[in-house]
C-alpha cells in the first residue's frame, strides 16, 4: 500500500523545521548506509545525535502521534527516530530495498522495517528532479509532494530518489515496525477502517456499523503482534 498523507505538519511546525534545516550542519549520508546502499547513496544527512536533529525528530514524532491516517495505515508498534536528508547538486539514491532490521540511531533498539515514510520539507517548485520512485506489483510510482505532506509505503518496495539537478530537496525519513507484519493485511485493515469511518458519518452507530467495527477489531486481534 502506497499512501499520500497530507498536512502532517502545521504551517507553524513546517516554518520552524525549515528554519532549523536551513541552519543545520550536514554530513555525508553514507555514514548511515547499509552495505547494499553504499555504492548508490549520494546525499547529505543531519547527524542524528545533534541538537537540530533531536529537536526536529521530536517535532515529527508529535505530528505522527496525532495523525489518524498514519496510525490507521501503519498500525505502529515501534517507530524509529526520524532522520533528515538533503539532496542537491545532482545527488541521488539509486535503486535499493531498505534493510529488514535497523538499529535506532539514538536508543540502539532494533526495529523491523515494515513501513517506510518520507516527509517533505521542500515544495516541488523549489527543486528539480528528486522524485521518490517506488515499485510494486502495479508498476512504478513517482512521488513529489508539497512541503508538510508524507508518503507511506511498504519497506519491501524497490525504490530510489532521482537526481536533484537544481535547488535542494529536504525531507525526513523513518521506518515503523507495525503490529501487522504483512502489507496485504495492513492494507485490508486500513480500507476497512476508512469504510467504517465513512459509514459512521452517514449512519451513526447503527447495528451494521457496530458489527463491522467488531469485525475490524477481531481481525486486528487475530493478526497483531504486540
Do 13 and 56 lie in a common domain?
A: yes
Do 25 and 93 lie in a common domain?
A: yes
Do 97 and 191 lie in a common domain?
A: no
Q: How confident is the model at residue 34 (pLDDT cuts 50, 70, 90)?
A: low
pLDDT at position 165 over 90: yes
Question: In this predicted structure, what is the pLDDT of residue 206?
Answer: 96
Indicate the burial class of 200 (C-beta count within 10 angstroms; 0-12, 13-18, 19 or more). middle
Do 14 and 107 lie in a common domain?
A: yes
- Across the range 45-64, mean pLDDT stands at 97
Scanning 43-170, the segments in alpha helix (DSSP H) are 51-65, 68-74
Question: In this predicted structure, what is the pLDDT of residue 150?
Answer: 98
pLDDT at position 19 over 90: yes
Instruction: Count the domains in the chain.
Output: 2
Do 197 and 143 lie in a common domain?
A: no
pLDDT in tens, 109-158: 999 999 999 999 999 999 999 999 998 888 899 999 999 999 999 999 99
> What's the CATH number where 213 sits?
4.10.860
pLDDT at position 101 over 90: yes
Q: Residue 169 annotated as binding?
A: yes
Is the separation of the CB atoms in 197 and 110 below 8 Å? Answer: no
Do 100 and 169 lie in a common domain?
A: yes
Task: Select from 161, 178, 195 the last residue of a domain.
Answer: 178
pTM of the complete model: 0.94
Do 197 and 146 lie in a common domain?
A: no
Do 44 and 111 lie in a common domain?
A: yes
Do 192 and 105 lie in a common domain?
A: no
Do 99 and 208 lie in a common domain?
A: no
Question: In this predicted structure, what is the pLDDT of residue 38?
Answer: 67
Is the separation of the CB atoms in 76 and 135 below 8 Å? Answer: no
Query: Residue for cell digits 517548485?
Result: 125
- Across the range 215-222, mean pLDDT stands at 98
Question: In this predicted structure, what is the pLDDT of residue 138?
Answer: 81
Do 76 and 106 lie in a common domain?
A: yes
Three-state SS for 33? coil
Q: For the chain, what is the total number of helices (H) and then of strands (E)? A: 5, 16
Q: Residue 98 annotated as binding?
A: yes
Which percentage of the chain shows pLDDT scores above 90? 92
Q: What is the span of the domain harbouring residue 130?
A: 3-178
Q: Residue 4 annotated as binding?
A: no
Q: Which residues pair with 220 in a beta bridge?
A: none
Do 68 and 130 lie in a common domain?
A: yes
> What's the CATH number where 77 sits?
2.60.120.620
| Phi, psi for residue 117 in degrees, rounded to 5 | -140, 140
Is the separation of the CB atoms in 113 and 100 below 8 Å? Answer: yes
Amino acid at each position: 500500500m502506497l499512501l499520500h498523507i497530507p498536512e502532517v505538519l502545521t504551517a507553524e511546525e513546517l516554518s520552524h523545521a525549515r528554519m532549523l534545516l536551513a541552519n543545520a550542519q550536514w554530513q555525508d549520508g553514507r555514514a548511515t548506509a547499509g552495505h547494499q546502499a553504499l555504492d548508490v547513496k549520494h546525499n547529505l544527512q543531519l547527524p542524528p545525535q545533534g541538537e537540530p536533529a533531536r529537536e526536529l525528530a521530536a517535532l515529527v514524532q508529535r505530528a505522527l502521534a496525532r495523525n489518524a491516517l498514519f496510525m490507521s495505515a501503519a498500525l505502529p508498534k515501534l517507530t524509529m527516530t526520524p532522520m533528515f536528508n538533503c539532496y542537491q547538486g545532482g545527488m541521488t539514491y539509486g535503486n535499493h530495498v531498505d534493510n529488514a532490521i535497523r538499529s535506532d540511531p539514538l536508543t540502539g533498539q532494533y526495529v523491523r522495517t515494515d513501513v517506510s515514510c518520507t516527509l517533505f520539507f521542500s515544495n516541488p517548485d523549489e527543486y528539480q528532479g528528486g522524485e521518490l520512485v517506488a515499485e510494486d506489483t502495479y508498476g512504478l510510482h513517482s512521488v513529489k509532494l508539497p512541503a508538510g505532506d508524507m508518503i507511506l509505503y511498504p519497506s519491501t518496495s524497490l525504490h530510489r530518489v532521482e537526481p536533484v539537478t537544481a535547488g535542494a530537496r529536504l525531507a525526513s525519513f523513518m521506518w515503523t515496525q507495525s503490529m501487522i507484519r504483512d502489507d496485504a493485511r495492513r492494507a485490508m485493515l486500513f480500507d476497512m477502517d476508512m469504510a467504517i469511518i465513512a459509514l459512521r458519518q452517514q449512519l451513526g452507530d447503527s447495528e451494521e456499523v457496530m458489527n463491522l467495527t467488531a469485525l475490524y477489531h477481531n481481525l486486528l486481534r487475530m493478526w497483531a503482534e504486540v
